[in-house]
Amino acid sequence: MNKLVLLVALPLITAFLLPVINRVSEFAGRWTGPLILLITSALGISLWSQLGNNAVAIELGGFRPPLGIALYADQMAILFAVGTSLGTLLLWPNVGEDRVRQSTLALILAASGSGLALSGDLFNIYVFYELVAVVSYGLIATQASSGSYAATLRYLVVSSFGAAMALIGIALVYQATGTLNLAQLAQLAPTRLNNTQGLAAFVLMLIGFGVKAELFPVNTWVPEVYATAPTRISGLLAGVVSKLALLIIVRLLVLVFHQPEALTVMLVLGIMGVITGELAAWRARDFKRMIAFSSIGQLGIMFIAFSIPGKAGIFAGLAVALHHLVVKPALFLLAERWSGSLSKLAGAAKASPLAAALFILLALSLIGVPPLPGFWAKLLVLVELSEQAQPLYYLGAFVILAGAALEANYLFRVASRFYHTEEGQTAPAAHRMPELATASLLGAALVASVFVLTPLSAQIEGIATQAADAAQYIQTVNPEALP
C-alpha cells in the first residue's frame, strides 16, 4: 500500500524532467504529461479498490508519527486524490504557445492536489496548500493577458494574507499541544485545544484555507480570476481545488476542533456566502462571472452543510461537493464559447444545440430539480438542517431555498436567450469538439447517476461515516504514545 505516495511522486518527477524530455523529443514532451496522469489515475483507482472499506496510513521515511510525516488514506482522501488526477487530465490546459511550462504546472497541480487530500500532518498540509496556490497563480497567468496578470496579483495578495493567517494558526496549535500530527492532535484536542486559543487557531486557519474554498469574506478574488483565466483552469480551480480546500477544513473540524463555536462560525460565513454569491450572480451581466458567483453560492451551501455536527453534516456536504465537482467544470467548459455578455447569447441554441441542452441539464441539476442528483443533494442538506435545534440552522435552510429561487431565475433567463433569436445579432460560434466532448461526458455522468442513485447514496454515506470517525483515524495512524 505504500505505492500511495506515487500518486504524488510520479507526476512530480515527470514535472521536473519535462523540460529535459521536451528537448529530446517534442512529441514526447507533448504527450508524456497526459500519459503520466493516466497512469497515476489508474494507479489511484486500483489502490482505491484494493483499499475497500478500510483506511490505511503510511509512515513516510519509515519514521513513526509524530517524528515523521504520515499520509492517511481513507475513502474520502483517495476519492479526492483520484478526482484531482482525473480532473487535471480531463481539463488539460492548452492555451497559447508555451506548452512545456503549462504541462509542467498541470502535472504539479495533480501531484499537489493528491497530496493535499492524503496528508496527515498539519504543516505538510500547509505546504501542499501553498504549492497548490503557487501552481494556480502560474496556470491563471498562462492566459498572458493584462487582465489575467492583474487578477493573479490580486489573488496572490489575498491568498498570501490567508496563508500567513493559517501559519499563525498552526503556530498557536503547536504552542498549545507540541505536535503537528493530526492523529495526535485529535488525541490532545479535548484537553489542550478546547479553549479560546483553539477557537482563535481555528478561525485563523479557516480564513487561510478558506481563500481557496471561496469563503466569505476572502472570496473577493473569485470573479476577476474566473473571468480572466483560461476557462479550463477556471473549471479546475472552481471544481476541484475548492473542494480540496474544503476537505482540509472538514478534517480539521472532525479531528481537532470540536467546539460548537467553530461550527457556528462556519454556518454564519456559509450563509453570508450564499446570500452574496447568489445576489451577485443574479446581477451579473456576463456569463463567466455569473457562474463564478454561482460557485460562491454553492460553496456557501457546502459550508452550511459541513457546519452540521456529526456524520450527517459530512454526508450532506459531501453530496453537494461531489455534485458541484461534476457540474461546475462542465459549465466552465461551455463558457469557452459563451464568455461574452449575456445579451450576446441570443440564438446560441441554433449554433450549438447540444451545448444549449447540456446547459439546461446542468442548470436544472444546480437548482435542484428532481430526479437529477442536485435535487437529492440539496434535499439532504435541507432535511439535516431542519433536524437541528438551533434557529440559525433554519435561517440557513431558508437562505438555501431563497438561493435556489434566485438560481432558477438567472439560469433560466440565460437559457431562454439561447432559444430566442434576435434581429441583427449574430449567434456565438459553435463549441469546439474537445470542450463539447468533455462537457457531454460530465453531463452523461450526471444523468447516469440518476439511475444508480440509491447505491451511490449508500456509498457516499459510507464514506462520510468513515470520515467522521476520529477514533478510527487515531487507531489507523497509530502514533507514538503520548509522554
**For other proteins, which residue of 216, 375, 393, 410 counts as binding (CB under 8 A)?**
216
Q: How far is CA 225 from CA 156, 203, 339, 359, in A?
A: 11, 25, 13, 22
Binding residues for other proteins restricted to 402-461, rule: CB under 8 A: none
Q: Among candidates 377, 395, 373, 375, which has minimal Cα distance to 386?
A: 395
Q: State the number of binding residues for other proteins (CB under 8 A).
A: 108
Cell of 330: 462542465
Q: Are 163 and 245 in contact (CB under 8 A)?
A: no
Which positions from 4 through 33 interact with other proteins, judged by CB under 8 A? 5, 9, 12-13, 15-20, 23
Return the axis-axis angle of helices 373-386 and 287-306, rounded to nearest 10°. 40
* Cell 488539460 belongs to residue: 92
The contact pattern for other proteins, residues 327-366, with x = CB under 8 A and - = no contact, is: ------------xxx-xx----------------------
Q: Does 2 bind other proteins (CB under 8 A)?
A: yes
Residue type, 252: L
Residue of 54, 194, 217, 398 that binds other proteins (CB under 8 A)? 217
Q: Report the nearest approach of other proteins to the CB of residue 125 (Å).
A: 10
Is the link from the previous residue into 373 a cis peptide, with omega within 30 of 0? no
Residue selected from 47, 76, 105, 247 as contacting other proteins according to rule CB under 8 A: 105
Site for other proteins in 260-279 (CB under 8 A): 276-277, 279
**Residue among 128 and 393 whose Cβ is closer to other proteins:** 128
Burial of residue 270 (CB within 10 Å: 0-12, 13-18, 19+) is buried
Stretch that binds other proteins, among 39-47, 221-229, 390-398, 447-455 (CB under 8 A): 221-229
Map the footprint of other proteins across residues 282-321, applying CB under 8 A. 283, 285-289, 293, 296
Site string for other proteins, 461-480 (x = CB under 8 A): -------------------x
Q: How far is CA 78 from the centre of its chain?
A: 14
Give the one residue of 27, 49, 52, 62 binding other proteins; rule: CB under 8 A: 62
> According to CB under 8 A, which residues from 155 to 194 bind other proteins?
156-157, 160-161, 164, 167-168, 170-172, 174-181, 184, 192
Note whether 212 binds other proteins by CB under 8 A: no
Helical (H) or strand (E) element with 282? helix 260-283
Shortest distance (Å) from residue 280 CB to other proteins = 3
- Minimum gap (Å) between residue 168 Cβ and other proteins: 5
Residues within window 121-140 making contact with other proteins, judged by CB under 8 A: 123-124, 127-128, 130-131, 133-135, 137-138
Q: Which of these, 464, 444, 206, lies nearest to 320 by C-alpha position?
A: 464
With a CB cutoff of 8 Å and minimum separation 6, the contacts of 50 are 1
Residues 6+ apart with CB under 8 A from 349: 356, 418, 419
Q: What nine digits make up the cell of 218?
A: 476572502
Encoded amino acid at 84, one letter:
T
Q: Judged by CB under 8 A, does residue 399 bind other proteins? A: no
